[in-house]
Amino acid sequence: MTSPYDYADASQWRGTTILSVRKNGKVIIIGDGQVSAGNTVMKGNARKVRRIAGGEVITGFAGATADAFALLERLEAKLEQFPGQLARACVELAKDWRTDKYLRQLQAMLIVADKSETYVLTGNGDVVEPQDGIIAIGSGGNFAYSAALAMTEYEKDAETLARKAMAIADKICVFTNGNTVIEALDSKT
């Protein structure tokens, strides 16, 4: 049975923009704080970007908050099972997410990163590594992603690039606000 939730339908990802940038020795995940119910802003300062695995992994989520927390708990368990193997932990979580009757119903997406790798995880079983070190999810994800790609040649600092791209998404996407949370790690790439 396929999920009734269409992960590709951006109209279903309201209230969040999460962006990751890996550049010049840093990996950044930045997310806005807006939570919307339909056309109403419910909260403006939600924290959708966090550190897990003892601070060695940073993550951001889009979608249903409770579902995202359930997935983050499962990811932490996978990281304990496969220490230092982010790719393996993500693939194992994606397999469970795709095949487990309970997990299949969870409606969220995750961006996860450590010092070496960045991935997007979806309920479709996707574990996607960005081609150029930039990836985004959520209702304003395409705006933030496009802005970051456009500026990557001109902006050398990963955090500055991420903040500028999020500011552009905030101006375009009504489900994104300028109240951001950012986490960073030193990167091997």
pLDDT digits (tens, 9 = 90+) for 168-181: 999 998 888 888 99
CB-neighbour burial class of residue 34 (10 A; exposed 0-12, middle 13-18, buried 19+): buried
User: Which domains are seen in the chain, by residue range?
Assistant: 10-186 (3.60.20.10)
Is 144's pLDDT higher than 80? yes
Query: What pLDDT, on the 0 to 100 scale, is given for residue 10?
Result: 44
Is 23's pLDDT higher than 70? yes
What tokens were used for 43? 């909260």
Catalytic residue IDs: 16
Query: What pLDDT, on the 0 to 100 scale, is given for residue 7?
Result: 45
Query: What pLDDT, on the 0 to 100 scale, is given for residue 88?
Result: 96
- Better-scored residue on pLDDT, 67 or 26: 26
Is 133's pLDDT higher than 50? yes
Please state, in angstroms and rounded to a whole number, the distance separating the CA atoms of residues 185 and 117: 11
What tokens were used for 44? 């403006």
Contact predicate 108/123, CB 8 Å: yes
What tokens were used for 188? 């091997």
DSSP conformational letter for 33: -
What is the value of pTM for the model shown? 0.90
The set of residues, in sequence order, having a beta carbon less than 8 Å from that of 111 and lying 6+ positions away, is 18, 20, 29, 59, 60, 61, 118, 119, 120, 121, 135, 136, 137
pLDDT in tens, 58-113: 999 988 888 888 889 999 999 999 999 999 999 999 888 888 777 777 788 899 99
Query: What pLDDT, on the 0 to 100 scale, is given for residue 189?
Result: 65
